């Protein structure tokens, strides 16, 4: 999809972080943008910021974990702009914990947003893009966590592996359709300077952690440590520009630069699979580059 000027992008998780940066980058490239997020106040601010740049933008509150809400988002975006060309299933949340110590609520919250949010996005928007039969592109935000594994973040890692698998399957399915003009990318960022480690602010009440719950020490330590690294992450604008380039180049993988510690970690994991060896930690997962 080389030509993006005048096209319409729908971005979830657009009120902050990577999604907000995507909206600004896409707008600067001449696209019209539909921003969606569960955080209404921040969403209004993001839309005003982007509109102030002269970008035609609309904002729609949307909880991606709910299929009806995502269908409503598509209806609203079509009503506002008439067409949809780029869909970024970008909303995501994070929490830590051991595989056995992570609560059911934590697992459910992570999977509802990070996995079901992508599923609802694909089920809703891909049929629209296919029916339009115009150059279009789907971007699913995963993570380098989707290409690696590590301790104390099982729910998050597994959710991002699911996002990668969904994206690869979609790629193959669209490639099987002769002349299909819809491309697919999966965004696998390294550590990024966002508020994902503060995602608790948007957790629905019925999935909140019990205030009286005594969190395992590993969970407390992990969430405190990882959160403290957020300021060391890559600027979200870098990820937005990588994404825009991948859309224009019809490129599936959106990865950190070669040599990045997360690429090292992914390569070590792939090597252990090839060798039939036990899992090992290396690169970013061993603290390199942090």
Catalytic residue numbers read 156
Q: Is 60 in contact with 39 (CB distance < 8 Å)?
A: no
CA distance 21 to 125: 22
Closest of 103, 129, 107 to residue 116, by C-alpha: 107
Name the DSSP letter for residue 256. Answer: P
Helix (H, G, I), strand (E, B) or coil at 102: coil
| Residue 192: closest CA among 152, 147, 141 | 141
Residue where the block lists tokens 């929490």: 95
Contacts of residue 188, defined as CB under 8 A and 6 or more positions apart, other chains included, come to 142, 143, 144, 146, 147, 164, 253, 254, 255, 256
Three-state SS sequence of 202-247? HCCHHHCCCCCCCCCHHHHHHHHHHHHHHHHCECHHHHHHHHHHHH
Distance CA 277, CA 94 (A): 29
3-state secondary structure of 196: helix
How far apart (Å, rounded) are the C-alpha atoms in residues 30 and 28?
5
* Closest among 40, 127, 3, 118 to 110, alpha carbons compared: 118
3-state secondary structure of 258: coil
């Amino acid at each position: 999809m080389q030509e993006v000027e005048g096209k319409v992008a729908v971005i979830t998780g657009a009120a902050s972080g990577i999604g907000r940066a995507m909206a600004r980058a896409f707008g600067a490239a001449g696209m019209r943008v539909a921003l969606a997020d569960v955080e209404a106040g921040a969403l209004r601010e993001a839309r005003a910021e982007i509109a102030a740049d002269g970008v035609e933008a609309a904002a729609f509150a949307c909880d991606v974990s709910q299929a009806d809400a995502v269908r409503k988002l598509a209806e609203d975006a079509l009503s506002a702009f008439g067409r949809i060309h780029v869909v970024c299933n970008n909303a995501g949340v994070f929490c830590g914990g051991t595989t056995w110590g992570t609560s059911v609520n934590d697992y459910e919250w992570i999977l509802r947003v990070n996995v079901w949010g992508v599923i609802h996005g694909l089920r809703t928007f891909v049929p629209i893009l296919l029916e339009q039969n115009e150059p279009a592109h789907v971007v699913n935000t995963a993570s380098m966590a989707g290409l690696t594994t590590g301790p104390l973040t099982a729910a998050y890692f597994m959710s991002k592996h699911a996002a990668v698998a969904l994206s690869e399957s979609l790629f193959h399915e669209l490639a099987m359709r002769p002349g299909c003009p819809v491309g697919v990318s999966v965004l696998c960022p390294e550590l990024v300077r966002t508020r994902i480690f503060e995602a608790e602010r948007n957790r629905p009440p019925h999935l909140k952690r019990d205030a009286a719950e005594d969190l395992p020490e590993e969970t407390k330590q992990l969430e405190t440590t990882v959160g403290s690294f957020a300021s060391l992450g890559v600027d979200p604008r870098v990820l937005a520009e990588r994404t825009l380039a991948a859309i224009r180049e019809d490129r599936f993988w959106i990865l950190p630069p070669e040599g990045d510690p997360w690429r090292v970690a992914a390569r070590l994991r792939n090597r252990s699979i090839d060798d039939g060896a036990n899992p090992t930690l290396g690169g970013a997962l061993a603290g390199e580059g942090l």
